[in-house]
A and B are shown apart, each in its own frame.
Chain A
Amino acid sequence: QSALTQPRSVSGSPGQSVTISCAGTSSDVGGNNFVSWYQQEPGKAPKLLIYDVNKRPSGVPDRFSGSRSGNTASLTISGLQDEDEADYYCCSYAGSYTFVVFGGGTKLTVL
């Protein structure tokens, strides 16, 4: 299965909103309700931000939100803060519930 498609980089100024897209197919992103998003700071393990397309684990600020339209999922970060500068990855099933696929990752730069 192929990796999901994310933009390599996005940027925004503090206080602004940015959206990161994750394009897949009807066999993965568009075919189930289990898209998740992860934030990875340099040198650290990824951290769960969003699961089941639009749900936030406890402790994740409501500035982070997820959505999906067709075969493309999106992560929106509103009220951008300096500490949001990190890499972001989407994740979904790939063809069956036993296989998992990640997006290629998006580097967010806070200007």
Chain B
Amino acid sequence: NAGVTQTPKFQVLKTGQSMTLQCAQDMNHEYMSWYRQDPGMGLRLIHYSVGAGITDQGEVPNGYNVSRSTTEDFPLRLLSAAPSQTSVYFCATSVRRETEAFFGQGTRLTVV
């Protein structure tokens, strides 16, 4: 089992470009979430989903969109990239929102 797979691992974007960060899990977990990690800021929740077809905003949702059409996939879309979105992005899954989270390896995004 792969667990939680994030692609790509690294990405450089120009300001204004759009892109989708992919997250796929084979753990059959209902709950999936996206975090961004910045130095000195810890892990901040962007969006989360409690099941297919259901999404909600976290602490820092502006500039990001998500959808959940299947249990396995939870893509994160940057609509118009800004330098402030330079960060490391982590996807996580868990049985329920408040239980142990299993994280992917992360995507390091640089917006220039």
Partners in one complex: no
